[in-house]
Structure 1
């Protein structure tokens, strides 16, 4: 069958891809279908055709899979925040484990790796402590009545439509954030509309309102509001900050980040504190962390404690070891390990992250952690310390091959690898498997209703090395 973009046809969905798309096949040719579930029979329209695969969207659900449920969110399927609300949570965990195992087998050649059942998120909804919303000059509407417009000129504040940088869905609430966050979202949207000050145009790069970032400290039940604008205009924002503070007693601070860069990043070159001190405190386990508007902090405060506890268990520290932590960020893993090790050395490329790490150590009275600023592959070349355990928590792209080589050269007895991407986890473990035994891997679900999955791997140096 010769397939062309725009073709419509029936398709049986038999698998689920990492990325959340259902998989169907015509004469063994793979077709990815967003929003489809294994067991669905669907009529689809081809939207993209490549040499080895195609993409399609559902135009009619002919037979629903027994696995399919009704999503609780009215924006499900049209919003980029979730991909799997139409799957029961137990099946989400099943597919996430499968994705880890498939990556290990297909990419890493690690068919015999022991992969445990995923540790479930403590909360299915309301688990995020941070949400970032985008302002736009045009509201995009989900497909419904064919006579209704697809978009409408006017300020929008919401989340991007999957696969579209320019379309913003003007949402009223997000179930991944606690309900107070949605009420703050509504107040900010109403104020921005009434201000008559234009939103920033994603294409025109003109306008004022750019992003709204909300942070929530679950431990203290306090909130931070960060309004990101294209220009400095405190007179326009102070009345909003005052209104928010009066309306929401648990709002601790309101800040204004200002960025003139065209890149769609909700971080400013300047920051103006409008109310409070510009900081939020949160806890993970017994430890307290200070969070500024642009600090990196794990977005699921409750479940990340399970991930860090797994790191502690896999490291098997007895109090006398030296730990090397690569990609140490704001110091959360070193702080968790500090009571079990003699000394911990973290290496991090971002200066602001090291500053946060040092502040967090001071706030928790931790004195056996120190941090080195610089490129990891260069710093490992100059390293004078011989680590007993190396903890690696890289970004989604995984480790650079030069970093892998330098890690292997250290011949540490044990490595604990923390990953947010099964594909790069498998690739990096494959590069280390000749020298290290992959003992076990523990997936941790930090992001219910999405395809994302974290995993912690325990590696032990082989005896002949």
Structure 2
């Protein structure tokens, strides 16, 4: 397991590692940039591959760049900060193409990756984790790259506007002063789980959400929340959310306390959108406008079509579609998200929108007509087999699949390939300096070609 190998990194792999080969076996090398030769240490042996960490660069990649953050390499927030941005865009396109072919059996031309308008300070939301510190101490920061069970106390971050770090340091100080421990998933005990910060570029206002475990003594949090609000006039609100599920996601299940507002408003290409503390909203506002515009283009709307948006969330993409379609119906399981979606449609005078809350299968079954276009923007896990079945029954002439995970995109397109042909795939970069990839894929029914 401590063996060192000299390896040449041949290409990028999904997830951010570099792919090399040793004696016929594939080796995934963390920190290995394509085109470089590295001295790597094997850290794990699997049946089909080896996993390694680059410990020394022997010959640098022609695409190497100087990292701009002191935490790079240890922090898990960025994986490609040491690579030139144009190379990152090329690698993302190549990864999408490889995943489609290998996992979905789909060979199609993948367009060049659309660049993010901002390469730094582009995030409108970040999730920070709490963890144990020395003794009875407390850490608040980001997960380490090679040890995600450990929290790194970041002091700088170039992905979000600088005030994020000021608020983080204040929350770290205030939570430490309570002497309440971090949450431990193994036992389900402890208090502090996550800090989620949102920022509105439109108003330059902020929203802070502190997520805690269910056994937290909430009376001891009141002064903390109020102190945080008092210290930052830019904060529109502070929300305390409770998460009982032990899975490590920064998603509250119920609310414990609120001071101020529980939402922000953002402008997206002329649309004013309300974003609540728990709502899904693309984390790169300016690139989200490119993503949504690409999705509208993929829908090929003339103004006469009915569009169904099957994972509409707070209705951002639904609103985009509504400006070019005859009618749009958004489907979403979350009641609070649907309330946001209805508010967003109303405040933008989009009266051709309707929203249906509830289980997708039941909601679709109640519809008396069928759509011309179906838009799907699922979570990272992709489409449930039931949803694939629903899409086959709907049999819309055109599908627009917005994906945040090229591997599940490839799998799902493969499952739909008996009825649909993939006519275009365009990656859109919402996450510079990371390996995360968004895509817009256009599918056309084979019997309509």
> Which category describes the TM-score, using the shorter chain as reference length?
over 0.9
Contact 1:136–1:202 at 8 Å: present in 2 too? no
Do the aligned partners of residues 444 and 236 (structure 1) sit closer, same or farther apart at CA in structure 2, a change above 3 Å counting? same
Report deviation, 1:153.
5.8
Contact 1:200–1:210 at 8 Å: present in 2 too? yes
Report deviation, 1:118.
1.2
**Aligned partner of residue 114 in structure 2, secondary structure:** coil
C-alpha distance in 2, partners of 1:379/1:269? Answer: 23
Report deviation, 1:282.
1.4
Do the aligned partners of residues 245 and 286 (structure 1) sit closer, same or farther apart at CA in structure 2, a change above 3 Å counting? same
C-alpha distance in 2, partners of 1:366/1:406? Answer: 27
Report deviation, 1:94.
0.5
Which of 314, 323, 337 is the matching residue for 2:298? Answer: 314
Which of 187, 193, 213 is the matching residue for 2:196? Answer: 213
**Aligned partner of residue 60 in structure 1, secondary structure:** strand
Q: How does 1:9-158 map to 2 (within 5 A)?
A: 9-111=5-107, 113-138=108-133, 154-158=137-141
**Aligned partner of residue 212 in structure 1, secondary structure:** strand
Which of 329, 333, 337 is the matching residue for 2:321? Answer: 337
1:146 is matched with none
**Aligned partner of residue 109 in structure 2, secondary structure:** coil
C-alpha distance in 1, partners of 2:195/2:448? Answer: 55
Do the aligned partners of residues 424 and 229 (structure 1) sit closer, same or farther apart at CA in structure 2, a change above 3 Å counting? closer
Which of 135, 149, 153 is the matching residue for 1:170? Answer: 153
Report deviation, 1:437.
3.2
Do the aligned partners of residues 199 and 432 (structure 1) sit closer, same or farther apart at CA in structure 2, a change above 3 Å counting? closer
**Aligned partner of residue 344 in structure 2, secondary structure:** helix
**Aligned partner of residue 302 in structure 1, secondary structure:** helix
**Aligned partner of residue 340 in structure 1, secondary structure:** coil
Give TM-score scaled by structure 1 length. Answer: 0.89
Contact 2:275–2:314 at 8 Å: present in 1 too? no
User: Would you say 1:437 and 2:421 are equivalent positions?
Assistant: yes
Which of 384, 387, 390 is the matching residue for 2:371? Answer: 387
C-alpha distance in 2, partners of 1:201/1:375? Answer: 32
C-alpha distance in 2, partners of 1:422/1:267? Answer: 23
C-alpha distance in 1, partners of 2:386/2:223? Answer: 52
Q: How does 1:365-384 map to 2 (within 5 A)?
A: 365-384=349-368
C-alpha distance in 2, partners of 1:215/1:462? Answer: 43
Q: How does 1:232-271 map to 2 (within 5 A)?
A: 233=217, 236-271=220-255
Q: How does 1:276-355 map to 2 (within 5 A)?
A: 276-355=260-339
Contact 1:174–1:182 at 8 Å: present in 2 too? yes
C-alpha distance in 1, partners of 2:393/2:225? Answer: 53
**Aligned partner of residue 10 in structure 2, secondary structure:** strand
Contact 2:279–2:313 at 8 Å: present in 1 too? no
**Aligned partner of residue 137 in structure 2, secondary structure:** strand
Report deviation, 1:274.
4.5
User: Would you say 1:193 and 2:188 are equivalent positions?
Assistant: no
Report deviation, 1:205.
4.1
1:455 is matched with 439
Unaligned 5+ residue runs, structure 1? Answer: 140-151
Which of 382, 396, 401 is the matching residue for 1:412? Answer: 396
C-alpha distance in 2, partners of 1:203/1:406? Answer: 38
Report deviation, 1:233.
4.8
Contact 1:137–1:154 at 8 Å: present in 2 too? yes
Give TM-score scaled by structure 2 length. Answer: 0.92
Contact 2:136–2:181 at 8 Å: present in 1 too? no
RMSD between aligned residues: 2.3
Do the aligned partners of residues 406 and 206 (structure 1) sit closer, same or farther apart at CA in structure 2, a change above 3 Å counting? closer
1:359 is matched with 343
C-alpha distance in 2, partners of 1:382/1:235? Answer: 45
C-alpha distance in 1, partners of 2:386/2:291? Answer: 27
C-alpha distance in 2, partners of 1:324/1:226? Answer: 32
Report deviation, 1:328.
1.8
Do the aligned partners of residues 106 and 232 (structure 1) sit closer, same or farther apart at CA in structure 2, a change above 3 Å counting? closer
1:218-257 per-position Cα deviation (integer Å, ceiling 9, x unaligned):
1111001112233555654444444433433221111222
Contact 1:319–1:341 at 8 Å: present in 2 too? yes
Report deviation, 1:287.
1.5
C-alpha distance in 2, partners of 1:371/1:383? Answer: 12
Contact 1:20–1:83 at 8 Å: present in 2 too? yes
Greater displacement, 35-44 / 265-274? 265-274
Report deviation, 1:202.
5.0
Report deviation, 1:161.
1.7
Contact 1:346–1:369 at 8 Å: present in 2 too? yes
Unaligned 5+ residue runs, structure 2? Answer: none
Report deviation, 1:53.
0.2
Greater displacement, 128-137 / 431-440? 431-440
**Aligned partner of residue 96 in structure 2, secondary structure:** helix
Do the aligned partners of residues 378 and 235 (structure 1) sit closer, same or farther apart at CA in structure 2, a change above 3 Å counting? closer
